[in-house]
Chain A
Amino acid sequence: MSTELIAWPSSETATPQPFVGQLHQWVTTVDHKRLGILYILYALLFLVVGGVEATIMRIQLIRPLNHFVSPQVFNRMFTMHGTTMIFFVVMPVMFGFANYLVPLMIGARDMAFPRLNALSFWMTAFGGLLLYFSFVGGDGLYGAGNAPDVGWFAYAPLTSKTFSRGHSTDFWILSLLVSGFGSIGTAINIIATVLCMRCKGMSLAKLPLLAWLNATMAGLVILAVSPLTAAQIMLLVDRYLGGQFFDTQAGGSAVLWMHFFWVFGHPEVYVLVVPAFAFASEIIPVFSRKAIFGYPIMVAATLAIGFISMSVWAHHMFTVGMSAAGNTFFVLSTMAIAVPTGIKIFNWLATMWGGQIHFKTPMLFCIAFLFQFLIAGLTGVMQAAAPFDWQLTASYFVVAHFHYVIVGAILFTLFGAFYYWFPKMSGRMYDERLGKLHFWLFLIGFHLTFDFMHIPGILGMPRRIYTYEPGRGWDIWNLIVTIGVFFQAAAILVFIWNLLWSYFRGELAGNDPWDAWTLEWSIPSPPPAYNFADIPEVRSRRPLWDLKHPEDPDWHYE
């Protein structure tokens, strides 16, 4: 029974389906759990692809004036690496976990709109394939096409027909347009699910933090992905209909593209990080054996982050020549967003304080997240001081900063989430020793690469350069940064091996291997297609704590 990934309740499971039948079920599924897993596997595939692109870049930069790849290939690599990691790794994996977990945590049988869910996944998936098709099919009119090489933020007028001949930029635009619609679809689904499908008794004040945070993320997607869609339509008008939105020769404005892009781009990074906070907010309490400290303020801080994040975008544009007043405003809003973010770190710390910390793999990743997110936030505050940013932006310092967030915070909690919910999704426990090996290898690799990456930035190394001059003092740091990549690659291999081996050979997990408190742990692992035999009714934020501690339930104190 548990050799199948999902147990169907019908008689079909009596005799195992032929392979084609199973494949058909996966391709046509509208079950949130299966779609969640599809999203996650899709993202894992592209994580490896994006990692290969990063490795190619790092080998090219291992020493000055290297000739590992041509400048044209390098420029495609950093464009594809950024675009892939953001749109086809982190966003899909977060949507995948949201899809899988939100209905389970709120006591629902599925998402609000299962067919929209499936459509959204396939649109996102198609977008990724379209982007990668550019490697093959991007040959434009002058044979100048190939994968896009305009950088993941595709500044105008580099993206105009004049400077980007061929179709490489069009692949960038169209793939993101399509997957953007998929993202908006999923976001609408998440919000409708959280607002409309909660089980009885689960008021918003009793909603698990993961659901709150994913709903906030979804709200940000709705408000932020749309400006990107709009800007990309404008770019298509420029490229194909002779429009002049960003045509500087006709009076158009390159800065307008920057504003539109970053109005998307900044909330986008909160779309990426807020679900990471969700994972931490579920894992840290369970492995500290304490309720989350300050639930109401965690919710309030999340909403504040979501709200303020819509007002900070031009801190990516401190060097474009805004007025002193303009720059000053964005310094204020950017520094302001550090306050609710810092509050969250303190709340997680207070959750661990006085607790009983179990150092299982998910918790190890979350503890590392706390240290690393602290550093990432502080280097962010440094750059929020605009004059300091005039030196640090567009250099390897900012590259180190945002990788500290995306890898050090987001990817670490993501690994934590993988290990934490793998028993629920597969019905089996992962190998704890391999998990710890993955953690330590990745920790070493991460710090080798991204700690030392700050230094070339301080010493004047700009980003997006395919090579650099010797004698700038950058050589040794680039070497160390590249070495770290191989530790991370080894760690990923250990991770994938652990997932595969444990899926087939891991010991059976049972319903609740972690002695946790949210609703997903009350049903079998893996859950049946209908999730809950009887829709539960809850009285507090931790329904299973109430069941396990009937003498001292949470709803006495909430």
Chain B
Amino acid sequence: MSTSSASMLEPPIQWNPPARGSVAMYCLIAAEASIFTIFVVAYIFYIGKSLTGPQPQDVLRVPIFFTMCLLSSSLTIHFASKSLRGGKVRSFALWWLSTIALGALFLAGTAREWFHLIYDEGLTIQTNLFGTTYYSLVGLHAFHVTVGLLALITVSLFTLFGYLRQEHAERVEVLSMYWHFVDAVWVVVFIVVYVVGR
């Protein structure tokens, strides 16, 4: 198939197709972004339209601390990835575990917020349009954080048992792209729910 006569006349072709893991992750992110867009649109559409029940401005408390946790976890995962690329596995492990801790803290914060909303304010998914859209959107995001955390924990288990090496840096980078996406979604959700919607 190769036209060998032609290759003698032409300089060798530079051939650098992109890596499949990254391409696949970008596509997955696009699909997930599409799903979140629909939930965000529904949330925005229903702002102010609840017929009864608690309104956002009455019951929502802005979760600054837990947002900071999640956003810093993007930073820590970035450093983790960088360490692994440089071959520093122990440094990687520390940054990675910090990421998990910060992510878990964020989830705990969400749980605490929901406990307060359900038991103290009487806001559930059935209460009104605000309840339905709020729990769905924040819940979908929390679900994605949970899935991400499970993946991160799996990687940390591999690290703890000594199976993770520098050559896995690219795959870890792909996973960290997912984590960055989850953070970016939170930025949007935060603005829509706690800033615009209140």
Contacts and interface: CB of A to CB of B under 8 A. Distances in A.
Per the CB under 8 Å rule, do A and B touch in the complex? yes
Interface of A: 107, 112-113, 184, 187-189, 191-193, 195-198, 200-201, 222-227, 229-231, 233-234, 237-238, 241-245, 250-253, 256, 260, 263, 519, 522, 532, 534, 536-539, 543, 546-547
A193 B24 CA distance: 9
B112 interface: no
B34 A244 contact: no
A547 B2 CA distance: 10
B17 A546 contact: no
Contacts of B57: none
B52 to A, nearest CB: 8
Given A196-B17, A237-B125, A245 B133 contact: yes
Contact of A192 (B15, B24, B30): B24
A184 B31 contact: yes
Contacts of A193: 20
A537 B20 contact: no
Given A192-B23, A223-B31, A536-B1, 15 more contacts: A189-B24, A192-B24, A195-B23, A200-B13, A222-B30, A223-B34, A226-B31, A227-B38, A230-B34, A242-B125, A243-B126, A245-B136, A252-B46, A260-B38, A537-B13
B32 to A, nearest CB: 7
B30 A112 contact: no
B129 A250 contact: yes
Given A223-B34, A251-B51, A537-B3, A237 B17 contact: no
B15 A200 contact: yes
Contacts, number: 126
Nearest to A242: B126
A196 B23 contact: yes
B129 A244 contact: yes
Contacts of A536: 1-2
Interface string B41-74: 0100110011100000000000000000000000
Nearest 3 pairs between A and B by C-beta? Answer: A242-B126, A536-B1, A226-B34
A230 B136 CA distance: 10
A184 B17 CA distance: 22
Given A192-B23, A201-B13, A537-B2, A230 B132 contact: no
A192 B28 CA distance: 11
Interface string B21-36: 0011001101110111
A537 B28 CA distance: 30
A177 to B, nearest CB: 12
Contact of A537 (B1, B132, B136): B1
A191 B27 contact: yes
Contacts of A226: 31-32, 34-35, 38
B153 to A, nearest CB: 22
Contact of A196 (B20, B28, B39, B46): B20
